[in-house]
Amino acid sequence: MWPWLTVVLLIITGFGIQYNQDIWLQQAWVRSILAQLHYPLHTQANDWLILRNQSHRQWMTRQNGSKILILTGSIQNRLDAPQLPPQLIVQFYDAPNTSPTQSSTLSITMPPSLPQIRHAPYIAPDIDLTPISAHGQRDFTFVFEHVPEQSREISIEVSLQ
Burial category of 42 from C-beta neighbours within 10 Å (exposed 0-12, middle 13-18, buried 19 and up):
exposed
Residues 102 and 136 in one domain: yes
From residue 80, give the alpha-carbon distance in Å to each of 39, 85, 133.
14, 14, 8
Distance CA 15, CA 40 (A): 21
Domain of 144 in residue numbering reads as: 47-158
Angle of CA points 22, 104, 157, to nearest 5°:
45
Instruction: Answer for the pair 137, 75: CB distance below 8 angstroms, yes or no.
Output: yes
pLDDT, the chain, mean = 86
Residues 129 and 59 in one domain: yes
Residues 34 and 102 in one domain: no
In tens, the pLDDT along 115-145 reads 888 888 888 899 999 999 989 999 999 999 8
pLDDT of residue 97: 73
In tens, the pLDDT along 67-103 reads 889 999 999 998 888 888 999 999 988 877 788 888 8
Bridge pairing between strands 153-158 and 102-106? unpaired
Residues 81 and 32 in one domain: no
Number of domains comprising the chain:
2
